[in-house]
Chain A
Amino acid sequence: MPEPHREIITINMGPQHPSTHGVLRLVLDLEGEVILGTQPVIGYLHTGFEKEMEYRTYHQNIVFPARIEYLATIIEECAYVLAVEKLLGITPPPRAQVARVILSELSRIASHLVWLGSSGIDLNMTSVFIYCFQDREEILDILEGVTGQRMMHGFLRIGGMQWDLPEGFEARVRALMDRLPARIDEYDRLLTNNLIWRKRTEGIAVLTPEDALAFGCTGPILRGSGIDYDVRKAFPYSGYEDYDFDVPLGKRGDAFDRYVIRLEEMRQSRRIILQALDRLPGGPWLIDDRKVALPPRRELVRSMEAVIHQFKLVSEGIHPPAGEVYAAVEAPRGEKGYYIVSDGSNRPVRVRVRSGSFNNLQALPVMIYKETVSDVVVAIASIDIVLGDVDR
């Protein structure tokens, strides 16, 4: 019998591949079906957000974060707004803080549902996709009721929120939270003991704790490898230190562990939301500082000073002190941080968006080394990348 013909061939996966969740290109070196080398090629969705933000005032920049990472929109806005607030040295009123927590966790559940649904599609389970998007739509309906937009909210303000939570918000969220556990349990029953799901995820795309740390992975990827780091616990913001919730950890660092963690995170988010609803205080939702936040409309007809403040804020913007800060939040895809450098003028010198997806994707070649081509799809799905977030 002749020797089997062995050679390494290089193939191109993407950038227009249905499993790449955006526009990601992978150059794979294959020996048969086995991957010996991977070179991710990114940048197809590079939009220059960081450059754009240098040319706008701090207030105008609020619209960008949700467009960078379009699946966990409120969390993104929260990250930017927190960084500016840290730069200014201000704290939003308690009602705004609790409302931010509720909206952030709703956002997180919505984002994880998109992840679960699209992973289902990648692994040939279309019904999961339909179920998840149905639930996500209910969350987006609530967010639309609060902010006026399904996704690109632009709702948070430096020092609080644009307006108060609408009437009936609490009842709506509670009703959804009552339905949610049954839905998550349903996905659990549908997938966790599903033979195909387990065979395709267990032991696939393994990332060791050492590699996860070296690549700076965060979020469910890092926790899947068993390392306990959650920004909400390590560097609490918006009062997260007062909430009682668990951070689920994995053991093997494979795609299945990440799936289990994300399911559990949805349950924990529900726990946080219920605690937050119980303690939602009344009072103002925007800071009472005329140099930072716009004056309420009723003041404009009575006070000349309010009109001047309104004019200066709109035509010139706020002037934070010179300095630089980094503020981070726990996004569904890991640590999302904003590093803002100010020179004391009305525009930032530099806004750096530290995205979790960028670092997580960097670990992909390690995850799929010596795996087969079909596992690439599982690995990409389990990283849960948003290419807009990777390329910015």
Chain B
Amino acid sequence: MVQYSSPSLDLSFAAISDVTRRGVLEQLARADASITGLAEKFQMTLTGMKKHVAVLERAGLVVTEKVGRVRTCKLGQRDLAAEAQWIEAHRRLFEARFAALDEVILRMKQEEEDGSASE
């Protein structure tokens, strides 16, 4: 079995665990943007946005390029981001399902233990 524990995928998961960073990816999927533009869009300081972009950049999800005084951000390895998100979404969905399934099972086991004499 192929274990998907490559450093890039781990970084990718960490990168998308934050709601702002997911928003930035969504935004960049529509159009490239400057860090200043992103900071305004997400109503945060330039320093705060720089940190978020750095995390995304390390994960290879975003690439930046400085032209003159403006640093432009665009999507990097988009497929990896999509894959990491897809797997994470599935994991959360199944986790939620299985938590509910546990409860149904618990109830069935209790009913069996109570036997036909109950109520």
Q: Do A and B come from one complex?
A: no
